[in-house]
Amino acid sequence: MNRASKSTRHASLAALSACCLLLIICLLPGRAAVAAPVEVIEVASFEQPWAMTFLPSGQLLVTEKPGVLQLVATDGSKTPVIGLPKIAYGGQGGLGDVVLHPEFNSNQLVYLSYAESGKGGTGAAIARARLSYSNTGGALSELQVIWRQQPKVSGRGHYGHRIAFGPDGYLWISSGERQKFDPAQEMDTNLGKILRLNDDGSIPPDNPFAARGGVTAQIWSLGHRNPLGLAFDGHGKLWVTEMGPKGGDELNLVQRGANYGYPLVSQGDHYNGREIPDHDTRPDLQGPAISWTPVISPSSLMFYSGSQFPQWRESAFIGGLSAMGLVRVSFNGVSAVEAERIPMGARIRAVKQGPEGALWVLQDGSNGKLLKLTNSRNK
């Protein structure tokens, strides 16, 4: 998909040294380039990987969009986990996110997002199940669907369906507007919204629109397009990355009851050439912390807190599809700025911090590789 741009701002990239597998990190125009001692280790490869999470054992769970959940050992060997729900694979739909319950050690609950078929078309759903696993395999049991996009619609795009648990234990969900535009502003649907639920899918009574009941009670914020990154920073603030239309990718600080404007405003335009007013024309709507044109096609979001790369602590990392690498963002309170890019030579679907502070990266697409980024100075 050609994601052209409104402005002419460009970010410089440098080369990946194939011989020594050191990444050269390039800063934005006007800043000096510096070499970062990052060593890249290939761990495994997958069929259209989408998300990953670490188990207490150090093993990983990796989702493959066609409908396979892989249990991955530290040596890269992998075994499918059995017991998944029926998944509607096609277009941007399939098996999506995977996260552990905050009390996984005691309840063994895993949460999965995926596309499902039903009356009206397809929609995202979230199920939770108990995971039993060992060194040789895993299985899900007691699977229960706790949330669905409403309504199901035609098409196979913009599911969103990232999942995050907050420091207060609530379950947060990013829900795309399914390429239907107007639902992002409509309060009788949960499309184009950020949602806040209890861990069993029930609705907290203090949600901003709880008094309205129904699906509206799930909503925390609205006016989102295709929110594919959802993560809390070290101070408990929730951030979301979302793809703009033709230009205007966004990083947003998620605030209670806020309206982020899509499709009323955007820093991008419609693909058919029809213009969308910029955010500054509607001060009543929440503008982005950062907007990217040319786009980066943000696929995922995480905040770094490890010891492997102390210079990156409290930074956010965004997986870039069209950016073909990682985008690092630094913060001053609630102000954010792109700090640098790490070119990876491939579309990046997901990025995660490992237990030992390494960065783990999933490439997008068929034969997408799982890469481990470590600090070579620690050897």
Catalytic residues: 158
Rounded Cα–Cα distance for residues 86 and 112 (Å): 12
State how beta strands 16-17 and 298-303 pair: unpaired
Q: 293: closest CA among 12, 8, 1? A: 8
DSSP state, residue 93 = B
Any alpha helices (H) in the chain, and if so which ranges? 104-107
Rounded Cα–Cα distance for residues 228 and 249 (Å): 11
Which tokens belong to 223? 């006016």
Beta bridge partners of 99: 111
Sequence-distant (6+) residues with CB within 8 A of 211 are: 217
Backbone angles phi, psi at 214, to 5 degrees: 60, -155
Q: Omega before 283 cis (within 30°)?
A: no
Q: 166: closest CA among 273, 240, 247, 70? A: 240
Rounded Cα–Cα distance for residues 39 and 78 (Å): 23
Rounded Cα–Cα distance for residues 277 and 60 (Å): 43
Q: 142: closest CA among 131, 134, 133? A: 131
Q: Are 73 and 63 in contact (CB under 8 A)?
A: no
Rounded Cα–Cα distance for residues 352 and 66 (Å): 21
CA atoms within 13 Å, Cβ hemisphere of 122: 24
Which tokens belong to 68? 């396979």
Backbone angles phi, psi at 220, to 5 degrees: -105, -45
Q: Are 30 and 347 in contact (CB under 8 A)?
A: no
Q: How many residues are listed for the chain in this entry?
A: 379
